[in-house]
Amino acid sequence: MTVLKGAKVRLRRVSSEDAEARFALGTDAEIVNMFGVSLSDAKPMTRDAAEQWAEGQANNPYAWAIEVEGCLVGEIKLHSINVHDRRASMAIGIDLPLNFHPAATRASVVLNTPSGAV
CATH code at 55?
3.40.630.30
Q: Which residues contact 5 (CB under 8 A, 6 or more apart)?
A: 11
- Sorted by sequence, the CB contacts under 8 Å of residue 21 that are 6+ apart come out as 71, 72
Say what the pLDDT of residue 38 is.
85
pTM of the model: 0.76
pLDDT at 101: 52
Whether 88 is in a domain gets the answer: yes
* 51 in a structural domain: yes
Residues of the chain with pLDDT under 50: 105, 116-118
Domain region containing 102: 4-111
The count of structural domains within the chain is 1
77-116: b (≥16 Cβ within 10 Å) or e: beeeeeeeeeeeeeeeebbbeeeebeebebbbebbeeeee
The answer to whether residue 118 is domain-embedded is: no
Given this model, what pLDDT does residue 26 score?
A: 86
CA dihedral 24, 5, 9, 92 (to 10 degrees): -80
CA distances from 4 to 12, 30, 78 (A): 7, 28, 15
